[in-house]
Amino acid sequence: MREAPERIQRLPEQYFTALLARVAAAAAADGEPLVDLGRGNPEVGPPPHVVEALAESAARPDVHGYAPFAGLPALKEAIAARYADVYGVELDPTREVAVLPGTKTGLMEFALCAVERGGTIVLPDPGYPDYFSAVALAGAAVASFSGFDMPGDGMYLNFPTNPTASAAADGVFDEAVEWARRNAAWVMHDFAYGDLVFDGRRPRSFLAADGSRDVGIELFSMSKSYGMAGWRLGFALGNAELVRRIETLQDHAFAGIFRPVQEAGIAALTGPQTSVEERRATYERRRDCALEALPGLETRSEGTFFVWFRLPDGVTVERILAEQRVALAPGEGFGARGAGWARLSLAVGDETLERGLERLRGAFH
């Protein structure tokens, strides 16, 4: 058999596939039932009116053919209206919005559409592992972010950050815009956890920064704000040229998104928004429980549904998995600078979290 093409070979091991396999193997071993706080998979689905919109749409005879490749105009208008209401950002739905089959796809598309092979893409470290995959797919080189004085052709930003759970600091988006201008580079802001911020913070869109849409896009996901991770629906918003390139790529690689999913997306974006705040408040409450259970540890959690914490000396996530039977995501999986840290997920039921925290107390005292 011939070898796989180089572009496939250079993809890193898919971090989450490997993590899930390790946790499944541990779960199958004898002992107490495992508590999985390793995964970031929303535990509560969308509100009922969204599911009803999907079912009603799917029951119609005229929705089963190919949907328009570029997405429903009404869906683009719905996300643009939400951006105006929630983030104070005015967008042209026809030119500045692309509909994506989930923002994970958009992470790959940004690298492919923005940076030439051999270029350099600056990534957060620690950061979301799929960014490394995107850079590899585009045949570009990774540079770990060490400040806005470094050169590069593209940059990934992510606030609130997975895995470090940090909210955007004042001025960071303005600095990113300046950086892009100086380097004639593109910026992508991954806003997957945008609405999940704590302690009275307001959600901050990159696109609210002056000049941002001259230099970049933001990816908005339906997965976390609305509990629709399995539905695969998201958006690329901002720079019209990048939006056009992404739509061109999608015209070749995909054939639109199932119309009932898009119509339910419209229902989610334009209907009652109480579930978004309920979800945010639930994670904040769980965050407080987790911080209380981990006294004396260095912890971060300003947003997302994660707590990022430094492991006590001599403690590893492997040991916690084997001895306490609690799965955590090991920090080094998110980049070299994550070594010695771990990510705990709050996207589990209260009882599961309580059980996991109780066991962790045992590990750290």
Ligand X SMILES: Cc1ncc(COP(=O)(O)O)c(C=O)c1O
Q: Which residue from 170, 162, 272 is spatially nearest to 226, judged by alpha carbons?
A: 272
Contacts with ligand X, 223-242, as mask; x by CB under 6 A: x-----x----x--------
CB of 182 to ligand X, least distance (A): 26
Closest separation between CB of residue 267 and ligand X, Å?
18
The residue among 325 and 343 lying less far from ligand X, judged by its C-beta, is 343
For ligand X, the closer of residues 229 and 344 by Cβ is: 229
Residue 132 Cα distances to 108, 111, 151, 331, 333, angstroms:
10, 10, 18, 15, 11
Is residue 192 near ligand X by the rule CB under 6 A?
yes
Q: Is 262 an interacting residue with respect to ligand X (CB under 6 A)?
A: no
* Shortest separation between residue 323's beta carbon and ligand X, angstroms: 28
CA distance 75 to 357: 41
Instruction: Compute φ and ψ for 29, nearest 5 degrees.
Output: -75, 155
**126-155: contacts with ligand X (CB under 6 A):** 128
# residues contacting ligand X (CB under 6 A): 13
Query: Helices 48-58 and 259-270 sit at what angle, rounded to 10 degrees?
Result: 150
Q: CB of 301: closest distance to ligand X in angstroms?
A: 15
Dump the DSSP string for 30-50: SSSPPEE-S----SS---HHH
Which positions from 2 through 31 interact with ligand X, judged by CB under 6 A?
none
Q: 83 or 325, CB closer to ligand X? A: 83
Q: Are strands 97-100 and 120-123 parallel, antiparallel or unpaired?
A: unpaired
End-to-end CA distance of the chain: 54
CB of 162 to ligand X, least distance (A): 4
Helix (H) or strand (E) holding 53: helix 48-58
Residues in contact with 64: Cβ distance below 8 Å, sequence separation at least 6, in sequence order: 259
SS3 139: coil
**Least distance from C-beta 340 to ligand X, angstroms?**
21
Closest approach, Cβ 329 to ligand X, in A, equals 11
What's the one-letter identity of residue 247? Answer: E
Residues within window 68-87 making contact with ligand X, judged by CB under 6 A:
none
Question: Segment contacting ligand X (CB under 6 A): 23-31, 90-98, 100-108, 312-320?
Answer: 100-108
Cα–Cα distance measured from residue 217 to residue 189, given in angstroms and rounded to the nearest whole number: 6
For position 221 contacting ligand X by CB under 6 A, the verdict is: yes
275 binds ligand X (CB under 6 A): no
Residue 104 sits in the site that holds ligand X (CB under 6 A): yes
Q: Does residue number 250 form part of the binding site for ligand X (CB under 6 A)? A: no
Question: Which positions lie near ligand X, rule CB under 6 A?
Answer: 40, 102-104, 128, 158, 162, 190, 192, 221, 223, 229, 234
